[in-house]
Structure 1
Amino acid sequence: MNNRERFSSRLGFILISAGCAVGLGNVWRFPYITGQYGGAAFVLVYLIFLVLLGLPIMVMEFAVGRASQKSAARSFHVLEPSGTKWHLQGYACMAGNYLLMMFYTTVGGWMAAYIFKTLTGEFKGLDSDGVAAVFNDMLARPGYMTFWMVLVVLLSFFICSLGLQKGVERITKAMMSCLFLILLILCIRSVTLPGASEGLRFYLIPDFTRFTENGVGNTIFAAMGQAFFTLSLGIGAMAIFGSYIGKDRSLTGETINICLLDTLVAFLAGLIIFPSCFAFGVDPGQGPGLVFITLPNIFNQMVGGRIFGVLFFVFMTFAAQSTIIAVFENIISFSMDLFGTSRKKTVLINGIAIILLSLPCVFGFNIWSDFQPMGAGSTIQDLEDFIVSNNLLPLGSMVYLLFCTSRYGWGWKNFLAEADTGKGVKFPAWARVYVSYILPLIVLFIFIMGYYQKFK
C-alpha cells in the first residue's frame, strides 16, 4: 500500500513546480543578463535553448520521481538495475539541495529586508551612491542579515510543517497568484512611464548587431546557461513533485506548462525593469546590483515610488520564498524517505540544520570576508554558488539523462512509458538520438565552459 501524500489538484502541482523554477534566476539574473547581452535577440536564443535543454531534462526528473514514488534520496534505489551504482546520485542531489539553501536563504532575507527598508522610507532622498551605501551597510552587519535569514527559514519550514496539501500546496498557490497580480500592476506602471518606449524597443525588438557586441559565442553560452539554471535541474528538486502526482496526465504536457509559467514570470520581470531603466536613464546591464541598487533609485524618482517599491520587493520575496519552500519540501522528503521520521520531527531537525549551515554565507560578507575562496573579492556565497551552479546542476542533469536513456540505467523504454502515461502531449520518440547522444554533449560543454569562464 502506497500512502505517499498527493497534491489535491493538478493546478497545485503546476504552480508549485513553477514556484520552484521561478526563483531569483528569473527575476534577478534573467533581467541583468538580458541587459548585458543586448536585449531581445538574447531572449530569442534563450527561449530556443529552454525548449532544447531544459524541457527534456525536466521531463526525466519528473518521470524518475513519479515512477519511483520517492524523493531523490531513494528514487534511484527503486529504479536502478540490481548491482549498479546509480543511487550514488541521490547523495549528490541531497548535497545540492542543502548547498543551494546555504546561500539562497541569505538572498531571500535580503529581499524581505528590502520590503521593510522601502516601506520605512530608508531610500528617500538618497542618490545612487546613497542607495549603494545602504546595501553595503546591510552586508557589513552580520546580526541584521542573520535575523532576516532566520525569519525566511522559520517561515518556510513552518509552511512545510503543515503538510503537503494544507501547507506547501495551499500557500504556494496563494503566493504564486499574488506574484502574478503584483507583476501585472508593476508592468502597467512601468510601460506607462514617460520614455519607457525606448526600453520596450530594447527588450522586445531583436537587434542582432547588439548580439555580436559581446561575441556570438559568449552570448549563445550565456543563453544556454540561463536556460539551464533557471529550472534548477539536476539535483532532484523537481523529481520530488513528480512523486506527488497521479498518472492521469502525461509528463511532457505538464512540463511545457511549467516552462511557460517560468518564462512568463521572467519575461514580465523584464517588462518592469527595462522600461523603468530607460525612462530614468539607467544602464540595464549593471549586473547583480540591478535589483538592490539600481531599482530603489528608480522608485525614488517615480510618483508613488514607495508603494511600487514595496510591491516590487514583495514580489521578489515571493519568488525567492516559493523556491525555498519547494526545496525545503524536498529536504524534508529526503529525511522522511531515509529515516522514516515524522514530518514535524524532520522539520525541527532540518530547520536548525539549515540555519546553522546558512551562517557561513552571511559571515562571508563581513566577519569572514578575509576568506576569499574564488580569488580576490570573492565571498563564501560565490564558492557555494559555484559548487551548485557549475558542478552539481550540470553533472546531475547528465546523470538523469544517462539514467533515462541508457540500457545500463533505467532505460529508454521505461522512461518513455512513464513520461507518456496519462492524457496530454507525448514525449517525442524520435528525439531518442538527441537526448541520448547530443544533449549530454551540450551539458558537458556547459560544464567545461563554466570552468573556463570562471578561471580564465
Structure 2
Amino acid sequence: MEREKFKSRLGFILISAGCAIGIGNVWRFPYVVGNSGGGAFVLFYLFFLLILGIPIMTMEFAVGRASGKSAVRAFETLEKKGQKWHIHGYAAMIGNYLLMMFYTTVAGWMLNYFVRMAAGNFEGSDPAGIQAEFSGMLGNPKVLTFWMVVVVLIGFGVCYLGLQKGVEKITKVMMIALLAIMVILAVVSITMKGGKEGLSFYLVPNFAKMKEIGISKVIVSAMNQAFFTLSLGIGSMTIFGSYLGKERSLLGESFNIAFLDTFVAIVAGLIIFPACFAFGVNPDSGPSLIFITLPNIFNAMQGGRIWGSCFFLFMAFASLSTVIAVFENLISSCMDLWNWSRKKAVGLNIIFMIIASMPCVLGFNVLSGFEPLGAGSTVLDLLDFIVSTLMLPIGSLVFLLFCVSRYGWGFDNYLKEVNTGKGIKMPRLIRGYCRFVLPLIIVIVIVEGLYSFFK
C-alpha cells in the first residue's frame, strides 16, 4: 500500500507547526519570559532554538522521510542488521500515548471554557466566583470526562478522514484561524491603557533582573524551552517526515516550523502581558493565569465576552492541532505495526484513548488523594514529568546518536537525506558539533530537569 503524501507544502508546515504549537507556548512561554528577565531570556531562547532545536528536528524529519514509516518502524527500516535502535520506536509510541493521556483532558478544559465564555457564564462574576468556577470544573468528573471524550472524538474523527482530506485540510484552516485570532487579540491588548508597560516588561532585556535570578539558571531555562517547544524526541515529527516528498531540503522546512512556533509563543506574550499590566494583575504561572486571571480581565474589558471567546477558541485550536497531529502519529504507528486499516486503527484507538485518559480526569477529584510527586501533585503532573523531563530529551538524544554515529544510521546518510531537494543545505562542518557538543547540551538538559525536579 503506497504511503499517503501531503497535498501541499503549506499543509506540511502548518501541521508540523501545529504539532509543536501547544498549550506550553501559550501559558508557559510568557511566564518563563517574565520570570527570567524579559527580553534577555528571549534572546537566549532564540539562540538555543537555532543551535539545539532545529538540528534535532531535521534528524526526526530525515529518519521519517528516508524510511517512509512512523517512528515505530522507521529505525527498523534504516538500522543495520542486528542493531537495537528500533526499541526506541516502541518507546516513542508509548510516549505519544502518555502525552495524550493528559493532553486530552487539558484540551477539554479549553473547549469547555470557550463554550462557557461564549454563553456569557462568567459575566458579572467577581474574582472569587471565577476561582470557584475553575475549582468546580476540576472537581466534577462528569464535566471533565465529557469534554475529554469530545476532544478524543474530534481528534480521531479528523484523522479518520485521512491525511489529505482530514488532517491536512482541517489543520490548515484551524492554524490560519489561530494565527489570525492571535494577531487581533495582540492588537487589542497592546492598545489598552497601561498596555505599553506590559510590553516593555516583556520585550526589553533586563540584564539586572537576569543577574538577580542567576545567569546560568536563565540560560538553562532558555535551553529547556527551546527544546520542549518543538515536541522532539517521541517521533511526533518523524511521522510528518514520512509523508513528505523529496522536493525540499529539510533544514529550510525546519526553520519555517520553528519560526511559526516561536511566532505563536511571542504573540501569546503580547496578548497576556499588556492585558495583565492594564488591569494591575501579576502574570502568574500555570493554569491560574489562563483560567482565573484572564477571565477576570475579560470581564473588566469592553466587549470582554467576545474577546474572551476568541481567546479560548484560539487556545482550543492550539491544543487540538497537537491532539490531531499526535493521534495521526498513533494511527500510523498501528497501521505500520499490525497492518490495520485506518478505520480499524481509529476505532480501537478511540476506545483505548478514552479509557487511558480517565486516570488524569479522575486525578483532580475522585483520585485527588493520590499525590504521586508530593503534596498537591496530581496524575497529570506525573504524566507530564515522565514525558517532558524524561522521554522528550532522552528520545532526542537517541535520534541524535542514531543520525551521527557510525553505530547507527550514520552522518553521511543523514546529511544526504537532509540536503535532498531545493532549499537551505546543512553544512558538513556541523558533524563535529552534532557528535560532541549537541549530546552534551542534551545531557545537561536531562540532568538539570531531574535535579530541579528532585530538589
Alpha-carbon separation, structure 1, partners of 2:46 and 2:142: 41
SS of 2:429's equivalent?
helix
Partner of 2:272: 273
Deviations 1:330-386 (A, max 9, x none): 000000000111101110000110111000000000000111100111100000000
Partner of 2:233: 234
Pairing 1:294–2:301 present: no
C-alpha displacement at 1:289, in angstroms? 1.5
Stretch of structure 1 that moved more, 114-123 or 249-258 = 114-123
Alignment of 1:52-451 (within 5 A): 52-451=51-450
Corresponding letter in the other structure for 1:327: V
Preserved contact between residue 36 and residue 284 of structure 1 (Cα < 8 Å): no
SS of 1:386's equivalent?
helix
Preserved contact between residue 15 and residue 173 of structure 1 (Cα < 8 Å): yes
- Count of residues paired in the alignment: 455
SS of 1:429's equivalent?
coil
Deviations 1:292-316 (A, max 9, x none): 1111111011100000000000000
C-alpha displacement at 1:38, in angstroms? 2.7
Corresponding letter in the other structure for 2:347: L
TM-score (norm 2): 0.99
Alpha-carbon separation, structure 2, partners of 1:163 and 1:399: 30
C-alpha displacement at 1:49, in angstroms? 0.9
Deviations 1:105-153 (A, max 9, x none): 0000000000112122222222322212111111000010000010011
Unmatched segments (≥5 aa) in structure 1? none
SS of 2:244's equivalent?
coil
Alpha-carbon separation, structure 2, partners of 1:215 and 1:125: 43
SS of 1:82's equivalent?
coil
Preserved contact between residue 27 and residue 286 of structure 2 (Cα < 8 Å): no
C-alpha displacement at 1:52, in angstroms? 1.2
Alpha-carbon separation, structure 2, partners of 1:212 and 1:35: 14
Alpha-carbon separation, structure 2, partners of 1:90 and 1:287: 31
Identical pairs, percent: 62
Alpha-carbon separation, structure 1, partners of 2:359 and 2:441: 33
Corresponding letter in the other structure for 1:387: I
Runs of 4+ in 1 over 4 A off after TM superposition: none
Preserved contact between residue 68 and residue 243 of structure 2 (Cα < 8 Å): yes
Distance verdict in 2 for CA 1:129–1:37, change over 3 Å: farther
Alpha-carbon separation, structure 2, partners of 1:214 and 1:123: 37
Corresponding letter in the other structure for 1:160: C
C-alpha displacement at 1:35, in angstroms? 2.1
Preserved contact between residue 198 and residue 274 of structure 2 (Cα < 8 Å): yes
C-alpha displacement at 1:30, in angstroms? 0.9
Partner of 1:6: 5
Preserved contact between residue 32 and residue 288 of structure 1 (Cα < 8 Å): no
Preserved contact between residue 18 and residue 261 of structure 1 (Cα < 8 Å): yes
C-alpha displacement at 1:286, in angstroms? 3.5
Preserved contact between residue 98 and residue 383 of structure 2 (Cα < 8 Å): yes
RMSD over aligned CA atoms reads 0.9
SS of 1:424's equivalent?
coil
Preserved contact between residue 33 and residue 287 of structure 1 (Cα < 8 Å): no
